[in-house]
């Protein structure tokens, strides 16, 4: 049972089922109910080379035996196997491997369990990286320690692979591996205009972890995060959510106050910025209860109800958190922002149906009496049964 449902069940008989129903809305709105990765701000991160290596039945080094050609829905190219790194394959054998584009030199060959081969162009540097990368069965923190020195590596492929490892590791592992991170480099990277925006989010989060772990680095790391917070940018800046989360990791309530000073809780704050803030608050709820009390996270989320860009999502998050104190504010959204946005009304219906407080029952009855068709439509959209008047 989700935490929100457990809390609701303790508070009011039958509320647990309604809270579970609210989570259906969260899935429909594209929210993340559980944040298990070290970097939920990095977008979709592909499997790393070590993961692909360890999942392969056979790993070998090869050279082209012909040109690439399209076959069915893929591009394939023949390769002579020169040396096997793992598994059994004879030298000199020619295999047909999928490629993303023609390979002209040495290739890393990976055979999946399905016996399908894949080839990646690889020079000696990349081959050494793949061969030396720690096993995926090793403890995550130890693996991140190895990859930390390869973040922003001069070889683009190695830099991307190190990023993938950090983006797919548990946040607890990032905390454990903080000692291997270079604070000076992280500070430079989050301020560098040309840095990959997805990586900026990871580096902001990592900088917060370093600041929280190392008292000697705290002041300069926190100052760098605050400077990044103040930096001007367009409304779609990727990675800003990681900067905000890093500040919450580093400074907890003081970091939240700095975000407030930036004006991000204002009803007219830029939509992109407040979406980043909501993502950072979700991360704080899941991962930072020891740094930022959950009551503070819920209260901060409630302050975003006034912003039309995230009102529906903030309502859904509050229901997940079983945060019922702002029930009056949530109910008021029905007749304000909900007039123009059916997603708001769906979220309000879900929240009021889950909330165990008398104020929620009264508000739901009032809305249903004034506009029964709209109320029933919102309940159906939220995949919830109608709430009994008693």
pLDDT tens-digit map of 339-376: 999 999 999 999 999 999 999 999 999 999 999 999 99
Domain parsing of the chain, residue ranges: 1-30+310-390, 34-47+137-292, 49-132
Q: What is the mean pLDDT of residues 325-345?
A: 96
Band (218; pLDDT cuts 50, 70, 90)? very high
Classify burial at 32, counting beta carbons within 10 Å of its beta carbon; exposed 0-12, middle 13-18, buried 19 or more.
middle
The crossing angle, in degrees rounded to 10, of helices 271-287 and 311-320 is: 10
Q: Tell me: the pLDDT tens digits for 168-182?
A: 999 999 999 999 999
Global confidence as pTM? 0.85
CB 107 within 8 A of CB 97: yes
Q: Tell me: the pLDDT tens digits for 231-288?
A: 866 545 678 999 999 999 999 999 999 999 999 999 999 999 999 999 999 999 999 9
Task: Give the ranges where the chain is alpha helix by DSSP (H).
Answer: 3-11, 15-28, 49-55, 124-132, 140-148, 156-168, 171-176, 183-191, 197-213, 215-230, 240-251, 253-261, 271-287, 294-303, 311-320, 327-332, 342-354, 358-370, 372-381
CATH number of 49-132: 2.40.50.120
Q: Is the pLDDT of residue 382 over 50?
A: yes
């Amino acid at each position: 049972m989700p935490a929100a449902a457990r809390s609701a069940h303790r508070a009011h008989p039958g509320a647990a089922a309604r809270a579970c129903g609210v989570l259906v809305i969260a899935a429909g709105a594209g929210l993340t109910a559980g944040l298990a990765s070290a970097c939920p701000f990095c977008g979709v991160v592909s499997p790393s080379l070590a993961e692909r290596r360890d999942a392969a039945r056979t790993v070998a080094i090869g050279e082209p035996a012909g040109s690439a050609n399209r076959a069915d829905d893929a591009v394939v190219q023949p390769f002579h196997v020169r040396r096997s790194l793992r598994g059994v394959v004879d030298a000199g054998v020619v295999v047909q491997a999928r490629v993303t584009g023609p390979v002209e030199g040495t290739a890393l060959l990976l055979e999946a369990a399905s016996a399908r081969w894949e080839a990646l162009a690889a020079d000696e540097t990349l081959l050494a990286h793949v061969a030396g990368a720690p096993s995926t069965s090793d403890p995550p923190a130890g693996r991140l320690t190895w990859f930390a020195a390869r973040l922003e590596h001069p070889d683009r492929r190695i830099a991307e692979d190190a990023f993938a490892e950090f983006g797919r590791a548990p946040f607890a592992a990032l905390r454990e591996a903080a000692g291997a991170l270079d604070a000076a480099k992280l500070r430079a990277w989050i301020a560098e205009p040309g840095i990959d925006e997805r990586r900026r989010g990871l580096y902001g989060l990592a900088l917060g972890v370093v600041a929280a772990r190392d008292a000697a680095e705290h002041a300069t790391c926190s100052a760098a995060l605050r400077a990044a917070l103040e930096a001007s940018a367009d409304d779609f800046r990727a990675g800003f959510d990681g900067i905000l989360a890093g500040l919450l990791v580093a400074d907890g309530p003081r970091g939240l106050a700095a975000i407030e000073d930036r004006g991000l809780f204002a009803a007219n704050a830029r939509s992109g910025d407040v979406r980043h803030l909501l993502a950072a608050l979700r991360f704080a709820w899941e991962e930072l209860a020891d740094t930022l009390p959950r009551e503070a996270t819920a209260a901060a989320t409630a302050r975003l109800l006034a912003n039309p860009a995230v009102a529906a999502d903030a309502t859904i998050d509050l229901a997940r958190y079983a945060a019922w104190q702002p029930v009056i504010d949530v109910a008021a959204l029905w007749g304000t922002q909900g007039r123009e946005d059916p997603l708001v009304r769906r979220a309000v219906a879900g929240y009021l149906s889950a909330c165990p407080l008398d104020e929620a029952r009264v508000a739901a009855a009032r809305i249903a009496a004034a506009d029964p068709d709209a109320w029933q439509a919102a309940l159906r959209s939220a995949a919830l049964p109608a709430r009994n008047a008693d």
